[in-house]
Structure 1
Amino acid sequence: MSTRWKRNTVVATMAVLVCAAVALNWRYSGETAVQGGQDSDTKILGEATLVSGQDGEQEGSEENSSLPDETGVYTGSDYFASARLTRQQARDNAISLLQEAAAQEGADTATANEASEGIQVLASYTLKEAQIENLVTAKGYTDCVAFMGDESISVVVATQTGELTAEDVAKITDIAMAETGLAASGIKIMAAN
C-alpha cells in the first residue's frame, strides 16, 4: 500500500509543479511583453544580429524583401504566438519530467505506465487545442489560442472589434464542447485586448 501512496504522491506533485510552471510562464511572458514594448535595449528570444553587425535586412536585396516579417512574433507584441510558445515549452518540460520518471532505474511498471498515460493525456490536450484553434479561426475570427486542463479549457480569441458578443461566445463554446466533451461550465472564453 505504501508503494502506491508514494507513486500517487510523486505523480500528484509533478502535476502541481507542471501547473505552477505553466502559470508562472504565462505570467512572466505577459510581463516581458509589456516591458519589451517600453525598453528598446531588451533582448528577446529569437532576435538576431547579422555577422556583419547590422540588424535587419540588407538594403537592395530583392531576395530578402520576399521574406515574411517575423518581428512581431519575436518582440512579444503578438500575444498569441507568445502564448503558444509558452504553452509548448511547458508541455515539453512536463513530458520530459514524465519520461525521466518512467526511465528511472527503480521505477516499477505501474509508475512507467502512469507516466506513459500522462504523456498521452498531454498529447491529447495538444491535439484538441490545435483543432479548436483551427476551427475558431475558420469561423472568421482573427486569431485564437486554447489552454486545456483536466476539467476545463480557456479560449482566448481576437476579433476585429476586440469584443465578443453572446453569439460569438455561443459559437466558440459549441466548438470547444464538441472537441473536448466538456460541459459549457468548464469552458471559459475571453476576448484578447
Structure 2
Amino acid sequence: MRGNWKRYTVVVTMLVLVCAAAALNWQATQSAAPPEDAAQSAQTDEKLLGAAALVSGGDGAADPAAAPVDETGVYTGSDYFASARLTRQQARDAAVALLQQAADEDGAAQAALDNAAAGIQAMAQYTMAEAQIENLVAAKGYADCVAFMSEDSLSVVVSAPEGTLSGEDVAKITDIAVAETGYPVDSIKIMAAN
C-alpha cells in the first residue's frame, strides 16, 4: 500500500507540474503584447502554432478592461522556435521547483527524496541533450531547431528552407539524435516547421 501512495504522489506531482507549466505559458503570452502589425502578418500564409479566442460569460460590456486579446502574432514564423524553447524551459522549471519543494518538506521519506533527486537529474540530462542536439543540427546548416526529449522518445522540429525535409535531411538529423540520446530510430520524430 505504501508503494502505491508514492506512485500516486509522483503522478499527482507531474500533473500539477504540467498544469503549472500551462499556467505560466498562458501568463507569459498574456503579458507579451503583440506588435501592431501582427494582425497583418497573421493574414499572410504563416502558420500559427496555436490560435485561441478569449471566451467570457457575457458580452464584455460590463467590464471595459475585458477587451478581446489578439494572440495571432504570438507564435508565428520564426518566433515558433523561441516560444517553444521558452515553453519547454518554463515547464521544466516548474517541474524542478515542485520536485525540490517535495524534497525539502520536513519528514519526507527517503524514497520521496530519491525520486525527487532522480527526477531533477533526468530533467537536467534532457535539457543538456536537447541543447546538444539543437547545436549539432544548426552546425549542419539548418537555420533553427528545437528538440523535445522525454523518457523514451525525442521530437525534433527543424526550420527547413523549402518547408520540407528530404530523406537525406532526416537521415542526418536522426544520426545526430541517435548518437546523443541512444534512443532507437523508431522513437525519434523529425519534423519540418512551416
Contact 2:17-2:98 within 8 A present in 1 as well: no
Q: What is the one-letter code of the residue matched to 2:10?
A: V
Change (3 A) 1:188 1:23: farther
Pick 1 or 2: higher relative contact order, CA cutoff 8 A, min separation 6: 2
Identity of aligned residues (%): 55
Q: Distance in 2 between matches of 1:23 and 1:175?
A: 30
Contact 1:29-1:86 within 8 A present in 2 as well: no
Query: Which structure has the highest helix share of the two?
Result: 1
> 1:18 deviation in Å?
3.4
Q: Distance in 2 between matches of 1:117 and 1:124?
A: 10
Q: Distance in 1 between matches of 2:178 and 2:40?
A: 41
Q: What is the one-letter code of the residue matched to 1:149?
A: S
Gaps of 5+ in 1: 41-71
> 1:182 deviation in Å?
0.5
Structure 2 counterpart of 1:44: none
What do the CA deviations read for 1:144-181 (whole angstroms, capped 9, x no partner)? Answer: 00001111011000022221011111111111111011
What do the CA deviations read for 1:92-124 (whole angstroms, capped 9, x no partner)? Answer: 000000001111113111101110010000000
Name the SS of the counterpart of 2:191 in structure 1: strand
Name the SS of the counterpart of 1:156 in structure 2: strand
Structure 2 counterpart of 1:11: 10
Alignment TM-score, normalising by the size of structure 1: 0.71
Structure 1 counterpart of 2:57: none
Off by >6 Å, runs of 4+ in structure 1? 23-30, 72-76
Structure 1 counterpart of 2:84: 83
Gaps of 5+ in 2: 42-72
> 1:20 deviation in Å?
5.7
Q: What is the one-letter code of the residue matched to 1:9?
A: Y
Bigger shift: residues 7-16 or 94-103: 7-16
Contact 2:25-2:90 within 8 A present in 1 as well: no
Q: Distance in 2 between matches of 1:184 and 1:171?
A: 12
Contact 2:159-2:192 within 8 A present in 1 as well: yes
Structure 2 counterpart of 1:66: none
What do the CA deviations read for 1:39-85 (whole angstroms, capped 9, x no partner)? Answer: 89xxxxxxxxxxxxxxxxxxxxxxxxxxxxxxx99998511111111
Change (3 A) 1:7 1:39: farther
